[in-house]
Amino acid sequence: MQRRRLGLAGVLAAWCALAGVAGGRDLDLRQVCDAYTPLTLIGLDTAEGVALFAMPSQQPEIPSWIIELEAMAGVARLYPDWRDRRRFGGSIAPGPVLMLGRCGSNCLQVMSWRDGRWHDVGEPLNAASSATAYPTRDGDGVPWVVLHRPTDEPGVVLAEAYRLTAGRWSAEGRLPVAAVGSPAAMPQAGAGVRTGSGRFLAGLRASSWVAGLPGLPARERGQLVPLPGDEVAYLARDGRLYLSPDGGAGWTANGWLPWGGDAAAPAAGPGWSVDLPVTDRAAPLAVAWFDNRVPELPELYLSERPAGGPWRVISRLPASERIGEDEVGYSHLLRLANGRWLLLAGCEVAERGCGLRMRTVEPDGSTIVLSVRLRPAWLDGS
């Protein structure tokens, strides 16, 4: 199959543009971004704490930027994104971030981020352009691709899974699945992945991993959240949380609220909302609660529930960060495999350039606010 590459002229033009930027003639590091520049999460390595973000460029010679945030080291590198191939998807899993690119009408090429650029992974995968594709890794770090096709049943898709084996993609079965959330494909322990209610294990028949779902009308149906053992959680569209201790055979509406009180089945309302952090859904159940009951003092509660409970509040924080003269809400809530939360507010301008305004929250609740300076990757070490 023909793979799209930059031609020689394109490569030379790209490097000439980068040379000009690196020479300092075209790039003012204080004008790369500001508090209102949108950041789009590409993917997250939950084990190493490396997050990739796409950011629009304000420099005409650079199509767009990729930010590589190494959260553990407090380093953010800035890479020009020359866009030699249209990319989409992005893995949320332990291991280097995977993305997908079209290499033809029915052709997908999996790519992995390493050493500041995208590298092809395995041979191209034959996949119809009508299917929605999601890359991920299993618990052993092996790449997978999950395809979703629509069905006639509302809320149900036909899932197909492929695992990389000796550089080739081996089909691991297909199965109708429901309650697909975000990420749509996620790892499980060992050589397997999950998508919604479906589970795919290398060399075994695909099957459902839950006995049933909460009996909700279609407008309220949401996503499954796998937990250790037989426990399962389910987040409905209206913000209600449901818990099952027996693999989905029976469900109980969560009545716990982080600011106190108890209700039979509290739904998000005018004064508060619920969100799940971006993570690979490893234990424990992690939930963010946005409390806007006092509009002038919005707060954020980060909570976790280990297997068997009870709930505990990890941290109670302001729901925004001050960037310049503005209060900017958190745009991204990430949780790493070691239990650290990363709350990203956005980009801020400082004397030496631009940086990412970020708060980290440790499992013990300790927290610190950081401004991680964006360092042009071609000037690394300066």
All residue ranges of the chain with pLDDT < 50 are: 1-16, 19-20, 22-25, 382
| Bond prior to 266 in cis (omega within 30° of 0) | no
203 domain-assigned: yes
324 domain-assigned: no
177 domain-assigned: yes
Determine the straight-line distance between the first and last CA of the chain, rounded to whole angstroms.
42
- Give me the count of residues in the chain: 382
193 domain-assigned: yes
Q: Domain residues for 187?
A: 85-209
CB 145 within 8 A of CB 100: yes
What's the confidence (pLDDT) of residue 219?
86
What's the confidence (pLDDT) of residue 354?
93
The Cβ-side half-sphere exposure at 16, using a 13 Å CA radius, reads 6
**Domains of the chain: total:** 1
Burial class (CB in 10 A: 0-12, 13-18, 19+), 91: buried
CB 63 within 8 A of CB 81: yes
Evaluate the CA torsion angle 302, 286, 368, 40 in order and state its sign.
negative
Predicted model pTM: 0.90
310 domain-assigned: no
73 domain-assigned: no
Long-range Cβ contact pairs of 203-208 (< 8 A, separation 24 or more): 203/172, 205/173, 206/159, 206/161, 206/172, 206/173, 206/174, 206/175, 207/175, 208/175, 208/177
What's the confidence (pLDDT) of residue 264?
54
What's the confidence (pLDDT) of residue 46?
95
Question: Order of strands across the sheet with 241-244?
Answer: 223-226, 232-235, 241-244, 252-253
- Which three-class secondary structure string do you get for the chain? CCCCCCCHHHHHHHHHHHHHHHCCCCCCHHHCCCCCCCCEEEEEECCCCEEEEEEECCCCCCCEEEEEEECCCCEEEEEEECCCCCEECCCEECCCCEEEEEEECCEEEEEEEECCEEEEEEEEEECCCCCEEEEEECCCCCEEEEEEEECCCCCEEEEEEEEEECCEEEEEEEEEEECCCCCCCEEECCCEEEECCEEEECCCCCEECCCCCCCCCHHHCCEEEECCCCCEEEECCCCCEEEECCCCCCCEECCECCCCCECCCCCCECCEEEECCECCCCCCEEEEEEECCCCCCCEEEEEEECCCCCCEEEEEEECEEEECCEEEECCEEEECCCCCEEEEEEEEEECCEEEEEEEEECCCCCEEEEEEEEEEHHHCCC
- What is the rounded CA–CA span in Å between residue 67 and residue 353? 14
Q: Residue 212 carries which side chain, given as an amino acid letter? A: G
What's the confidence (pLDDT) of residue 263?
55
